[in-house]
């Protein structure tokens, strides 16, 4: 049984992008695949796009969908093994996961990093328990260290908008009032490294990502220099990996502005959303024709639908 937690789970990235484009042109062409099949979507964290796009993708394939917001709709869940459960957590994942697996054919899971213990977060304890105990294919809807459905949609969006074979794509850190996980930038870099794009990563000192994800990608610490000649600007905040979970800067000089966009090659502006206006990016940029964030969000449907289709066909 195959699961989808990263780009490495795809048989072919090129074929997956091609399939996503075909699905976008004909979203209801495979409704027979999901007949009498059910997907359960489990959310340990809030969501707008992932929840609705994955539900929409499943419905486009003719599947039934059920959603559980853990800790709100259900019992509070214990995830650690070997503990005495004398607190407010009434159920253990060890039983809950196989029970959920008996109710469905595929499980989607969202479980963010808690940003307290790097080793625990990077061990992906929650999603790995779903993989181990559910008995059905598991799809990551953003885990502690990766957000593969987002990165798939990002890649699809760049493919649709690129004007040259090898565009310059810049991942830029931007300020945010709260500490956010590294899942989106980790995953974005990982997917971009599977392309032939010219990837540049820019952030203030102290925000270096896990070398496992960065590989041989070098950091350009001067944001203006990074933006020069760029075809795509992908803005995102993340907390420090080295000083794990800490906010080291809220410097608004890193906000993406029209002046910075003027340094680029008429770049398209991208962000996974939700985005903090006038922290990450100014109103002027977000409301301009260079912003493709809504199309990028729409592509979440087709990236999710491609993955579900591959699973239903037994091809993942
Ligand atoms: N980009 C994204 O995953 O959005 P949500 O957190 O709203 O699902």
- Nearest alpha carbon to residue 109 among 45, 152, 61: 45
Residue 100 CA: distances (Å) to CA of 74, 94, 279, 290: 12, 11, 40, 43
Cβ neighbors of 131 (< 8 A, separation 6 or more) are 3, 5, 138
Q: Is the CB of 52 under 6 A from ligand 1?
A: no
Report the chain's mean pLDDT, rounded to a whole number: 97
Q: How buried is 289 (Cβ within 10 angstroms: 0-12 exposed, 13-18 middle, 19+ buried)?
A: exposed
Cis omega (within 30 of 0) for bond into 225:
no
Q: Tell which atom from ligand 1 comes closest to the C-alpha of 50.
A: 8
List pLDDT tens digits, range 152-180.
999 999 999 999 999 999 999 999 999 99
Quick check: CB of 273 below 6 Å from ligand 1? yes
Instruction: Give the model's pLDDT for residue 49.
Output: 98
User: How far is Cα 213 from Cα 215, in angstroms, rounded to an integer?
Assistant: 6
Centre of ligand 1 from the C-alpha of residue 226, in Å: 26
Determine whether the shortest distance from the Cβ of 272 to ligand 1 is under 6 A.
yes
**Residue in 139, 272, 297 to alter for ligand 1 test, most ligand atoms within 8 A of Cβ:** 272
Taking the centre of ligand 1 as the mean of its atom positions, its distance from the CA of residue 295, in whole angstroms, is: 14
| 48-98 pLDDT, tens digit each | 999 999 999 999 999 999 999 997 888 999 999 999 999 999 999 999 999
CB of 146 sitting under 6 A from ligand 1 = no
Mean pLDDT of 196-220: 97
Cα 5 to ligand 1 centroid, rounded to whole Å: 16
Q: Determine the distance separating the centroid of ligand 1 and the alpha carbon of 273, expressed in angstroms.
A: 6
Angle at 122 between CA 119 and CA 126, to 5 degrees: 105
Is the distance from CB of 174 to CB of 235 less than 8 angstroms?
A: yes
pLDDT score for 62? 98
Q: What is the pLDDT of residue 84?
A: 97
CATH match of 150-296 with 3.40.1710.10: no
Atom of ligand 1 nearest to the CA of 141: 3
Q: Do domains 7-146+299-312 and 150-296 have the same CATH topology?
A: yes
Q: Tens digit of pLDDT for each residue in 10-48? A: 999 999 999 999 999 999 999 999 999 999 999 999 999
Q: How many whole angstroms from 110 Cα to the centroid of ligand 1?
A: 10
Are 309 and 301 within 8 A, CB to CB? no
pLDDT digits (tens, 9 = 90+) for 232-263: 999 999 999 999 999 999 999 999 999 999 99
Confidence of residue 201 (pLDDT cuts 50, 70, 90): very high
Name which residue sits closest to atom 3 of ligand 1, judged by CA: 50
The yes-or-no verdict on residue 125 having pLDDT over 80 is yes
> Cβ distance 127 to 111 under 8 Å?
yes
Q: Where are the domains of the chain?
A: 7-146+299-312, 150-296
Locus of tokens 């969202």:
110
Q: Is the CB of 153 under 6 A from ligand 1?
A: no
Q: What percent of the chain has pLDDT over 70?
A: 100
What pLDDT was estimated at residue 73?
A: 85
Which CATH number is correct for 7-146+299-312, 3.40.50.1370, 3.40.50.300, 3.40.50.720, 3.90.1170.50? 3.40.50.1370
Q: What is the pTM of this model?
A: 0.97
Q: Which residue's alpha carbon is at the smallest distance from atom 1 of ligand 1?
A: 272
pLDDT on residue 295: 98
Cβ–ligand 1 contact at 55 (below 6 Å): no
pLDDT of residue 1 exceeding 90: no
Gap from CA of 232 to ligand 1 centroid (Å): 20
């Amino acid at each position: 049984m195959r699961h989808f937690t990263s780009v490495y789970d795809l048989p072919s990235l090129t074929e997956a992008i091609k399939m996503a484009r075909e699905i976008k042109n004909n979203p209801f062409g495979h409704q027979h695949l999901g007949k009498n099949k059910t997907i359960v979507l489990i959310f340990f964290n809030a969501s707008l796009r992932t929840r609705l796009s994955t539900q929409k993708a499943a419905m486009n394939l003719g599947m039934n969908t059920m959603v559980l917001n853990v800790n709100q709709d259900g019992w509070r869940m214990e995830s650690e093994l070997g503990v005495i459960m004398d607190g407010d957590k009434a159920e253990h994942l060890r039983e809950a996961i196989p029970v959920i697996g008996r109710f469905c054919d595929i499980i989607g899971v969202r479980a963010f990093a808690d940003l307290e213990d790097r080793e625990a977060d990077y061990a992906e304890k929650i999603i790995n328990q779903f993989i181990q105990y559910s008995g059905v294919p598991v799809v990551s809807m953003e885990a502690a260290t990766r957000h593969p459905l987002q990165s798939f949609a990002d890649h699809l969006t760049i493919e649709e908008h690129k004007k040259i074979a090898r565009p310059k794509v810049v991942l830029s850190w931007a300020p945010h009032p709260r500490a956010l996980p590294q899942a989106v930038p980790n995953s974005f870099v990982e997917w971009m490294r599977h392309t032939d794009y010219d990837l540049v990563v820019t952030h203030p000192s102290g925000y270096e990502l896990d070398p496992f994800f960065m590989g041989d990608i070098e950091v350009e610490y001067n944001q203006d220099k990074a933006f020069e000649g760029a075809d795509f600007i992908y803005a995102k905040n993340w907390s420090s990996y080295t000083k794990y979970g800490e906010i080291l800067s809220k410097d608004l000089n890193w906000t993406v502005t029209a002046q910075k966009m003027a340094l680029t090659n008429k770049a398209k502006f991208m962000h996974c959303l939700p985005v903090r206006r006038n922290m990450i990016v100014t109103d002027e940029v977000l409301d301009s024709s260079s912003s493709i964030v809504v199309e990028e969000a729409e592509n979440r449907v087709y990236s999710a639908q491609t993955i579900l289709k591959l699973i239903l066909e037994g091809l993942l």
